Each structure stands twice: as structure tokens, then as C-alpha cells.
Amino acid sequence: MKGAVIAGAGSGVGKTSIATGLMHALSRRMRVQPFKVGPDFIDPMYHTAATGRRSRNLDTFMVPEDGIRGIAGTASKGADLCIVEGVRGLYEGLSGTSERCSTAEAAKILGFPVILVLDARSLTRSAAAIINGFASFDPGVDIRGVILNNVSGKQHEDKLREAIGRYCDVEIVGIVKRHKGCELKNRHLGLKTVDGSSADEVSHLEALTEDIDMDAFMRVCESCEAE
């Protein structure tokens, strides 16, 4: 299986919008199998609408490691690429000292590289410090790329590229500018539900991928082909 985990530095960084936009854009040229870490039932509706393939949950609380790999292997038959959306921040688990039920745990079980989504609003050099912190926290998690969200303009982008190029050993996969209207609708208890059969509900998110280097994204996905 070729694929990658789209993980957030935390909740609310644009992870679901970016992951769904990528799924929709790439589905135009290949068969993309989507997954969601954890038991969430709303995000997979967006994935299914974006790809035309049913998104599968990878719940490491309910399912043992072999079962997780089995779900991924079975669901990805006939697919060219797997995209896994994480849950919360990359390392958030059942407790403050355990990776159980975290996106990091799922990435290690699957053997997929991680692309970290970071809200870069008001950040420049500090973004490099955050990225290095995530990369060094658990050497078993293979963070290969970063997508920087909410970048205000060219000057902001240049400073981010300079800092990350100088201090970090990860590839900048995307510099996503602030897009009004390119987000998923929220309601009181989370995202608004969507008809999984309607690609129109998610097509606007593809605009986010205009700022993503698809060649770089595919390099990350192909860098560590899981069995």
C-alpha cells in the first residue's frame, strides 16, 4: 500500500478540510482509498463524497493491530493510494503519557509516513521549532512533510520557507493561503453531516490543493510503501 497520514499539530488546524480537498483532487486521476483514525462518523462522510469510495474507520481502541492492518489491506484493494486522516493532534491519546488510540499509533501500525498540518497564522521561525518538536518527540513516527495552513501572503511564505529550510529536515508539501469559504460547515457538536454520495458538498475544498505541491505529496506517499 502506498499512502500517508494527514495529521494535525492540534485540533482546528484545517486538517479535515485539507485532507478532504486532497482526496477529491487526487481522485480525478487515481483511485484513492480514504480512512479516518478513531470512531468518528462525520469525517468519513466527507471522505466518501470526495473519493466515491467508502471511508473506513481505524479505531485502535476497539480493534487490535492485526485487525487495523487487515481493515486497511482489505479496503485498499483496487486503490492506487491510501490517505488517512488523523484525529486531534498527532500525539493525543488516552492519557498524557500513552500513545494508545493516537494518530501516531495508527501511523506506526500501518507503516505510513506522516504529513503534519500546522496552522502557521502569526508564525515564522517558531514554526520550525514546533515542527522539530513533533519530529523528535517519537523517532518511531516518520514525519516526512508539512503543510502550512493560513499563510497570509508572499512575505509570510518566504519567512516560513527560510526558517524551515534552515532548521528542519522535512519537506514543505504545501503553503496554503487563507481561503474564505474553503472550510467545512460546523454545528454545535462538530462538523455538519453531509450526504456521502454528493461530491458537490466537498468540491469547493479542492481550491485548497492549489497551494499544495502534488509531486511532493506523492513523493512522501511513495517513500515508505507498507505491506
**pLDDT per residue over 189-200, tens digit each?**
444 555 544 566
Helices 154-167 and 125-137, packing angle to 10 deg? 40
Return the percentage of the chain with pLDDT > 90, whole number.
Answer: 83
The 10 Å CB-count burial string (b at 16+, else e) for 174-213 is bbbbebeebebeeeeeebeebebeebebbebbbebbebbb
pLDDT of residue 187: 44
Alpha-carbon separation of residue 166 from 125, 131, 144, 157 (angstroms): 10, 12, 16, 14
Average pLDDT, the chain: 92
Look up the pTM and report it.
0.92
How confident is residue 208, by pLDDT bands cut at 50, 70 and 90?
A: confident
CATH number of 3-222: 3.40.50.300
Segments making up each domain of the chain, as ranges? 3-222
Per-residue pLDDT for 34 more than 70?
yes
**pLDDT per residue over 137-181, tens digit each?**
999 999 999 999 999 999 999 999 999 999 999 999 999 998 755
